[in-house]
Amino acid sequence: MNAPPKAIAGASTFVDDRIGAGNFLKRNLRKIFPDHWSFLLGEIALYSFIILLLTGTFLTFWFKPSMGEVTYTGNYAPLYGVKMSEAYASALHISFDVRGGLLIRQIHHWAALLFVAGMMVHMLRVFFTGAYRKPRELNWIIGILLLTLALLEGLTGYSLPDDLLSGAGLRITEGVILSVPIVGTYIAFFLFGGEYPGHDVISRFYTIHILLIPGILLALISAHMILMWVQKHTQMPGKDRTEKNVVGAPFYPAFMIKAGSFFLFTFGVIALLGTFAQINPIWLFGPYTPADISAGSQPDFYMGFLEGALRVMPAWEINFLGHTVALSVLIPALVPLGIIMTGLALYPFLEQWITGDRREHHIADRPRNNPHRTSIGIAGITFYGVLWLLGANDEISANFHISLYTTTWFGRIAVFVGPAIAYWVTYRICIGLQRKDAEVLAHGVESGVIKRLPNGQYIEVHVPPAEDIAEHIRGKKEIPILEGAEDAEGIPPKGARGPLGRLRAKMSRAYGTDHVPLPDGHHEEVHEAEHAGVGAGDRKELH
């Protein structure tokens, strides 16, 4: 019964007879993957990246990354005879003259959005379940680098068509670069080949977009997948699941079939979006000229929070030794992104330092069981979301007839108050959900059966929860607490000495204290008591 499938046995024998790697092939094709829907979220990003590579290769055959001026003579009549860059003209040619060109362009753009969105959702799943803990800290850092590079990749690709909308974004990019003290001017001159807009920015962005960043992304994704394969996948708590095993389906054939189907589903959704949901209609915007600007300009969603930060930031600047530092541009360009990315990169190590937990973790946490971590994550999402929303403050003002200054001041206050409120609300929800879990174990679940007791009282009979649900709840692990108490001689532990050590001990107690411990075996007592005729009031006393 333990013999591998015939397809694996035959292939491994073929390989083993020639390069001696049959055992390696056989072992890895039977690798077990956990069966949980949330683990497929990262695959959305992976499959979107594959679609990006395929569609991007198609587009390179016709796109001309040049800012040389030409007169448009293509099939789009409203722009016939208009002077434009070769880049914009070739993008119009792909859209109107190449068979299937517009479809591939739109699939490419939708896949780019889904690539970034998939990474964000996958990152949140890893964060909220604590899957970044030892031994996966390095893979977490690789994931942060992948997300950062994806933002840069999107920025460079967004600018390539050289239409009026992407030109507005490029102008903002140039202003942000110039705001960086000392090196900003040199970076801007390097990218643009001189004064803005220069003649080289499209060709240089093109090289960065199709060669440099994709090469790094491929290397990091490969490293990410190899580490995941070697370290084995995390799994959700449940029956027969421990830190020493993985419960699920083998890579071949179950996971391969599931992954193949999910790839086709992802491609199908993106293809449908590319067919029926128009995106980035560059012909409506016209060619970019530095003297023009389009009304209601909005970047792709992943850059919306930086746009919002620019819009709500007060007009601050510093003049020092004859040099002006434009804080109104520098702070929103660097601080929000720095807070989010730096915070994410450091969090596994900060949590390990606070709790003193250096154990290996292969069982994922339920978000409710680590309320502080979950609350911090939701506060970060709220911070991002407020800035993202305020990236469209002009559209909000125009459509809802609210003063632009009102929306701006709302954003300035909400960006600080919102995360604090979100933290408190999330923490209380997590505690409430933990209490519900404890109640399920202690009192069982409602059966829908109403019973009349001898004294005339009616109760609903509770039954023990299903075994898989009970084991899922019992998978809650205690968060370690760094002990800060002094020993018999009045000497505190090594990790709790000095001001920083005492702060660490206090943070550890706050972070790890379990306010809702799970009961142990009480639901059986309740079940028996109800069948023995114990009333609801007695049941409260019993527990």
Residue 262 has phi, psi (to 5 degrees) of -70, -35
Residue 366 lies in a domain: no
Residues 2 and 144 in one domain: no
Residues 89 and 9 in one domain: no
Residues 46 and 18 in one domain: no
Residue 395 lies in a domain: no
How far apart CA 20 and CA 14 sit, in angstroms, is 9
Residues 76 and 152 in one domain: yes
Residues 15 and 131 in one domain: no
pLDDT at position 5, please? 65
Name 67's Cβ contacts closer than 8 Å, sequence gap at least 6: 85, 86, 87, 162, 197, 198, 199, 200, 201, 202, 203
Residue 387 has phi, psi (to 5 degrees) of -65, -40
Residue 312 lies in a domain: no
Residues 19 and 65 in one domain: no
pLDDT at position 535, please? 41
Residues 21 and 166 in one domain: no
Residues 192 and 259 in one domain: yes
How far apart CA 270 and CA 109 sit, in angstroms, is 9
Residues 11 and 135 in one domain: no
Residue 466 lies in a domain: yes
pLDDT tens column, 361-381 = 999 999 999 999 999 999 999
pLDDT tens column, 67-112 = 999 999 999 999 999 999 999 999 999 999 999 999 999 999 999 9
**Average pLDDT score over residue span 387-393:** 93
pLDDT at position 515, please? 86
Question: Count of CB atoms within 10 A of residue 21's CB?
Answer: 12
How far apart CA 491 and CA 285 sit, in angstroms, is 71
Please give the model's pTM, rounded to 2 decimal places.
Answer: 0.88
In whole numbers, what is the pLDDT of the chain averaged over residues?
Answer: 87
Closest residue by Cα to residue 88 from 72, 109, 99, 112? 72
Residue 364 lies in a domain: no
The kind and range of the H/E element at 7 are helix 6-19
Residue 516 lies in a domain: yes
pLDDT for residue 163 is more than 70: yes
Residue 471 lies in a domain: yes
* pLDDT confidence tier of residue 383, bands split at 50, 70 and 90: very high
Cis-peptide, bond into residue 336, ω within 30° of zero: no
CB 62 within 8 A of CB 104: no
Residue 302 lies in a domain: no
Closest residue by Cα to residue 362 from 242, 274, 522? 242
Residues 82 and 51 in one domain: yes
Q: Which residue has the higher pLDDT, 140 or 505?
A: 140
pLDDT at position 224, please? 95
Gyration radius of the chain's alpha carbons: 29
> Given CA atoms 353, 359, 361, 364 in this order, what sign does their dihedral have?
negative
Instruction: Give the CATH number, domain containing residue 118.
Output: 1.20.810.10
**Average pLDDT score over residue span 408-431:** 96
How far apart CA 143 and CA 150 sit, in angstroms, is 10
> Given CA atoms 207, 209, 210, 211 in this order, what sign does their dihedral have?
positive
According to the 3-state scheme, what is the secondary structure of 314-330? CCCCEEECCEEECHHHH
pLDDT at position 505, please? 86
* Number of structural domains found in the chain: 3
Residues 161 and 259 in one domain: yes
Closest residue by Cα to residue 301 from 120, 460, 162? 120
Residue 519 burial (10 A CB sphere; 0-12, 13-18, 19+): middle
The domain in which residue 229 lies consists of 42-236+248-287
Mark which of 225, 258, 287 sits at the end of a domain: 287
How far apart CA 406 and CA 436 sit, in angstroms, is 41
pLDDT at position 533, please? 45
pLDDT tens column, 7-22 = 666 666 666 656 655 6
Top-confidence range, 34-38, 294-298, 489-493: 34-38
Residues 133 and 165 in one domain: yes
pLDDT tens column, 505-543 = 889 889 988 888 888 754 444 444 444 444 443 433 333
